[in-house]
């Protein structure tokens, strides 16, 4: 397997890109039970005749190491450009930027990059388009698969003021990964009044995810490297409103890629290097990465307003973390 697929197991020595004997001993696992490791872009083998018969892929086709979906997405956006981060607005919202050395921080996971060297500092908000779709279906009783339905909601939300007239959503419907690592965290819609409409709720949900991303981005910048702009991919990137909110919240440009499935493209980029079409994955990424179809520039006034809201938003989780544990314990029928 690829080092960029193996590292989430927590058994890899990031310095040597090999299994860690110290960790294997600690968990009582024999090295012989683990697969051989290859760097991204290396040829691992060939398609066998049996596999060719089952898949239709030509026998003898090289099988080339790539990586996990997040790291591949980074390569598919050419994340190696200085100051660039990708943001995959999918079921979850996953972002990452590239660096030369491993770092340890609660705001991100250090993952092997799909490249000859280097690492991806990957963050994850577990509720992305999954949460938006849940809201549309369960709270609004609408069919989010209908384009006209989503267009109507986007229009209603666009007419709502920044900050949704005092409505804030904490997007922890599926718990929190980075930076809190709290599986008991729960979603919150705070500040509801009778003057709020579904447009307010919809916008507050988009803003909540963008505010959470802004907190994460600030932590990543303090720990590793500055982020100048985001390349937006995934289904949620189709929302111009959401992309603009992300730009305004973060104070950074958001570039929409024409490649929604950048993970697949990143794997193809690794394969192109392995096939000998390019001398390095970084060269292949520069040539093959998706182009930009739109650029969202942060508005200074909007960014300042979101800065005020971010200070309020940032107090929500600390105020509710103990309460979350108690209510989760109640739901399980146990003491928290």
At residue 181's C-alpha, the angle toward residues 177 and 185, to 5°, is 85
At residue 49's C-alpha, the angle toward residues 48 and 50, to 5°, is 90
Domains and CATH numbers, the chain: 82-260+290-336 (3.30.420.40)
- CA-based Rg of the chain, rounded to a whole angstrom? 21
Range 178-183 average pLDDT: 90
Q: Is the pLDDT of residue 336 over 60?
A: no
Range 310-328 average pLDDT: 90
First-to-last C-alpha distance (Å) of the chain: 40
Instruction: Provide the pLDDT confidence category of residue 43 given band limits of 50, 70 and 90.
Output: very high
- For residue 179, whether the previous peptide bond is cis, meaning omega lies within 30 degrees of 0, is yes
Cβ proximity of 67 and 266 under 8 Å: yes
pLDDT tens digits, one per residue of 142-163: 988 888 889 999 999 999 999 9
For tokens 């993970």, what's the residue? 263
Cβ proximity of 302 and 296 under 8 Å: no
Alpha carbon 69 to its chain's center: 10
């Amino acid at each position: 397997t690829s080092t960029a697929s193996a590292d989430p197991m927590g058994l890899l020595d990031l310095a040597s890109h090999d299994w860690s004997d110290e960790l294997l001993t600690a968990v009582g696992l024999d090295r012989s039970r683990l697969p051989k490791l290859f760097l991204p872009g290396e040829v691992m083998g060939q398609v066998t005749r049996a596999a060719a018969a089952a898949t239709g892929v030509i026998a003898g086709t090289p099988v080339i190491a790539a990586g996990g979906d997040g790291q591949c997405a980074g390569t598919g956006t050419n994340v190696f450009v200085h100051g660039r981060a990708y943001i995959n607005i999918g079921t979850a919202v996953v972002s990452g930027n590239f660096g030369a050395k491993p770092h340890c921080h609660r705001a991100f996971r250090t993952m092997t990059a799909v490249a000859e060297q280097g690492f991806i500092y990957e963050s994850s908000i577990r509720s992305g388009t999954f949460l938006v779709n849940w809201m549309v279906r369960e709270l609004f009783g609408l069919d989010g698969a209908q384009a006209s339905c989503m267009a109507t909601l986007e229009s209603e939300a666009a007419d709502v003021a920044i900050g949704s007239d005092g409505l804030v959503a904490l997007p922890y419907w599926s718990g929190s990964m980075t930076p809190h690592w709290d599986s008991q965290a729960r979603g919150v819609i705070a500040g509801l009044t009778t003057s709020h409409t579904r447009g307010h709720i919809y916008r507050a949900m988009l803003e909540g995810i963008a505010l959470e991303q802004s907190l994460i981005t600030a932590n990543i910048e303090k720990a590793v490297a500055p982020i100048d702009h985001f390349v937006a991919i995934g289904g949620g990137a189709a929302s111009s409103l959401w992309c603009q909110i992300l730009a305004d919240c973060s104070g950074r440009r958001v570039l929409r890629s024409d490649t929604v499935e950048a993970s697949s493209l990143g794997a193809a980029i690794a394969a192109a290097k392995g096939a000998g079409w390019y001398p390095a994955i970084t060269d292949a990424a520069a040539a093959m990465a998706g182009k930009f179809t739109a650029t969202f520039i942060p508005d200074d006034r909007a960014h300042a307003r979101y800065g005020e809201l971010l200070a309020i938003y940032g107090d929500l989780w600390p105020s509710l973390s103990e309460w979350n544990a108690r209510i989760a314990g109640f739901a399980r029928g146990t003491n928290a």
